[in-house]
Amino acid sequence: MMIGYTLMTEQAGPRDLVEHAVRAERAGFDFEVISDHYSPWLAEQGHAPNAWAVLGAVAQATERVRLMTYVTCPTMRYHPAVVAQQAATVQLLSDNRFTLGLGSGENLNEHVTGRGWPPVNVRHEMLSEALEIISRLFNGGHLDFAGRHFRVDSAKLWDLPEQRVPVGVAVSGQQSVELFAPSADLMIAVEPDEALCQAWRQAAPDADRIIGQVPVCFDRDEAAAVQRAHEQFRWFSGGWKVNSELPGPTAFAGATQHVRPEDVAASIPCGPEVKPIVDAVSTFLDAGFTDVALVQIGGDHQDDFFTFAQQELLPALRER
């Protein structure tokens, strides 16, 4: 298992994110993923810089770690032809360290273009078309495409990397596995679902990576960690089916107004101890995941986490 670090665009500005990327590499993380949001989930998080601009800087500031979007929606804010161009460029800038992580999106980020928010079956149709467009552009040459949701007129990627960009797709159930496994190189999921991993491996036996994510809130003061996790990550309790539909931070605040600090602490490791984090990551390992990216909650609380990760957490995780 590779252990990654999450560049959370919702909780830090662009300059800080680049510094976090450098620090995470020095601390010994194997890869780094970046969220691609137009808005934070909650106003308390306070940030949402452009992920692709940050990635360009991170690609130049780091040397070893793999990079990945976790995840980009290539259907509304971005046309898939533009996403293909962005991904190819970051692959070149990073010397072939980049993976394109894609998903069907969240209302929170995609409604800003004024096109409304389609039902999930339509979003899946859109993502399927987007995957085809991106794959065909990665093949090289000019592309003309006329689908139900997208058109492409004589598009070509003029700067293609020698190593094709791997593509991962976020899935949450059997339907999305059946739709996307045949055209993806790896699976992305946020719950340690063994059945989902098994279904993916049956549908895509050559897709060798399955990447999950675990939020943590490290702090030497456990009470402070619980308070911060509740303030900034109580949205996490809503689940994907709810979270993908809510339109903005105010809606998330209303939907989570009855979530208590102890509710958050029950699902997110909080405090100074290594074992709860190792246990949380182990549930993904046991379910069949090959990689897990950690989220340290709190944009202003990364420095102590990097020291903790290098000296205590990463050695414990690798021993497990």
Question: What residues are annotated to the active site?
Answer: 37, 106
Tokens of 307: 């020291």
Handedness of CA 314, 197, 90, 92 (dihedral sign): positive
CB 290 within 8 A of CB 8: no
Residue 142: other Cβ atoms inside 10 A? 12
Handedness of CA 245, 250, 254, 260 (dihedral sign): positive
Q: Got the DSSP string for 89-155? A: HHHHHTTS-EEEEE----HHHHGGGSS----HHHHHHHHHHHHHHHHHHHT-S-EEEE-SS-EEEEE
Task: Please tell me the distance from the alpha carbon of residue 70 to that of residue 274, in angstroms, as a whole number.
Answer: 25
Q: Rounded to the nearest 5 degrees, what angle is found at the Cα of 95, between the Cα atoms of 91 and 98?
A: 40
Query: Mapping DSSP to helix (H, G, I), strand (E, B) and coil, where does residue 183 land?
Result: helix
CA distances from 67 to 107, 201, 309, 317 (A): 25, 23, 19, 20
Q: Quick one: DSSP state of residue 239?
A: -
d(CA 72, CA 313): 29
Burial 175-211 (b: 16+ CB within 10 A, else e): ebbebbbebbbbbbbbebbeebbebbbebbeebebbb
CA–centroid distance for 267 within its chain: 19
